[in-house]
Amino acid sequence: MIDRPLYLQRILSFQNSGLIKVITGMRRSGKSSLLLLYRDWLRNQGIAKEEIVYINFESLSNEEWTDYKKLYEAITAISKERKRKIFLLLDEIQNVHSWEKVINSLRIDIDCDITITGSNAKLLSGELATHLAGRYIEIQVYPLSFEEYLNFRNARSEQGKVPEYFEEFLKLGGMPGLHEIHGSSTAKYQYLSDIFDSVLLKDVITRNKIRDTELLRRIIIFLMDNIGSSFSAQTVSNFLKNQGRRLSTETVYNYLDFLENALIIERARRFDLKGKNYLATQEKIFVTDVGIRNAVLGYKPKDIAGILENVVFLNLRQKGFSVSVGTLGKQEIDFVGEKDGRKQYIQVTYQLTPDNYEREVAPLKDIKDNYPKILLTMSPDLTGDEEGIQIQYVPDFLLSGPKS
C-alpha cells in the first residue's frame, strides 16, 4: 500500500474525539486501504494488536457478523476481555443488517474508538442521522488526485514527464487498482468497466430495486457525455423522448439521487454571486472518476474540455473545498471554491489564445472582492499574473495550491 496522508490526517484529527468516523467513497476508491493504513498507524503508535478489531464485511469469512446482534455480542465480549479502549475498524458496514443500531449501542456501552466505511452516501441519512446526530464526522475518499497518481507511479520527481503522465491521467483517471494492472489500456479500461458494472448493480440497481436497467444506463451515458454542461431534468426527459422513451422529471431526479448516493456522480449547484443565494436550476454534473467515464463512453479528444473541467472539480473536492458554479449577471464562473470561510474563483479553458482571452477573463474581472481569481489552461507558455488574475498551467495547479 502507498500512503494517502491527506485522508489519514483527516482521520487522525478526529481520533479520541468521541465522534464516529464515517469514511465514504465509491467502491474501489481506496476506503479499505485507508482503513488498513490507519490500522498500521495505530500499531506503530504502540496500540496492541488485540485492541484493534478490524472486520471486512465483504469477506465471506465474516458473514456471521452481518447479523447486528451477533456482531454486538462479539465486540462487547472482546471489550470485556481487553478491559481497555478498543479501536473498531469496520469495513463496508452497509452489509450488516441494521448496522446503525449496533454502532450506536457500541458507542454507548463500551470504551471504543469507531471508524467505519461504506460505499453509499445514505450512510449519513435515515437512521444514522437519527441515532447519531452530531456524533459522527464524514470523511469522503475520492480516487487518486493527480499528485497521488504520480506517487503511485513513483513518478513525482520526473518533472519533465508531467505532461505525458497528465495526458495518461486524463484518459485513465485515478482508481488505485489500475496500478496493479500492467497490461494495455484495453485491459485497464476493462477493469474500470467492471468496477462501473459492480457499482451500478450493487449500489444503484439492487439497492433501489430498479427494474428498467436499460433506461438507467441511457441516463448515465447522457450525463457522462455532458459533463461540465448545464443540466436540467427536463433536458434528460427531452433526450429520452427523442429516443422513444418517456420519463417524468421527478423520476429523472430520483435516478440522479440514486447515482449520487452511490458516489458515481456529484452535482455542483449554481450560486448567484450578486444575490448571494443558490439557484434551483442549471446545476452541473461531474463524474467521480474520468477513467470510468472514458471506459463506458470511450475516450474522444473532442471531449477534452469537459474532462479537464471534471478533473479540476475533483481536485477542489479532494482538497476539501465545497464547489459551486458561479453566476454573475449573464456571465458564468466555472467554479467557486469555498473552504474555511475563504473563496477562490476558477475558470478552465483548454487552450488560451488571443482570440478567447478576453472572453475567459471577463467574468473574473467583474468579481470585485479580493479572493484569488485563477484562469487554468493547458497552454503552459501563457501563464503568469495578468490584471490580478493568476493564469496557471493545469497540472501545476493540481500539484500545488491549498491542502486540506
pLDDT at 403: 47
What confidence tier does 222 reach under pLDDT thresholds 50, 70, 90?
A: very high
Model confidence at 342: pLDDT above 60? yes
pLDDT at 61: 95
Model confidence at 141: pLDDT above 90? yes
pLDDT at 126: 60
Determine the Cα–Cα distance for residues 42 and 51; give it in Å rounded to an integer. Answer: 10
Nearest to 39 by CA among 8, 68, 70: 8
pLDDT at 83: 87
For 311, the enclosing helix (H) or strand (E) is: helix 304-318
Q: What is the mean pLDDT of the chain?
A: 92
Model confidence at 210: pLDDT above 70? yes
pLDDT at 129: 65
What confidence tier does 3 reach under pLDDT thresholds 50, 70, 90?
A: confident
Q: Which of 119-123, 321-325, 390-394 has the lowest mean pLDDT?
A: 119-123
Average confidence (pLDDT) over 268-284 = 90
Nearest to 384 by CA among 356, 359, 362, 361: 361
Average confidence (pLDDT) over 150-158 = 80
* Helix, strand counts (H, E) of the chain: 16, 14
Beta strands at 277-287 and 52-56: parallel, antiparallel or unpaired: unpaired
pLDDT at 402: 53
pLDDT at 336: 97
Model confidence at 232: pLDDT above 90? no
Residue 148: is it exposed, middle or buried by C-beta count within 10 angstroms (0-12/13-18/19+)?
Answer: buried
* Sheet of 112-118, strand order: 52-56, 86-91, 112-118, 20-24, 136-140
Model confidence at 372: pLDDT above 80? yes
* pLDDT digits 0-9 by tens, 61-84: 999 999 999 999 999 999 999 989
Model confidence at 157: pLDDT above 80? no
Query: Partners of 116 in the beta sheet?
Result: 22, 90
* pLDDT digits 0-9 by tens, 344-358: 999 999 999 888 999
Average confidence (pLDDT) over 297-305 = 94
Domains and CATH numbers, the chain: 5-140 (3.40.50.300), 146-398 (no CATH)
pLDDT at 401: 58
What confidence tier does 125 reach under pLDDT thresholds 50, 70, 90?
A: low
pLDDT at 245: 87
Question: What's at 63, amino acid-wise?
Answer: E
Q: Cell 467583474 appears where?
A: 366
* pLDDT digits 0-9 by tens, 377-394: 999 888 899 889 999 999
For the chain, give the percent of residues with pLDDT over 90: 74
C-alpha cell at 211: 427494474
* pLDDT digits 0-9 by tens, 85-108: 999 999 999 899 888 889 999 999
Determine the Cα–Cα distance for residues 3 and 8; give it in Å rounded to an integer. Answer: 8
Contact 180, 186 (CB under 8 A): no
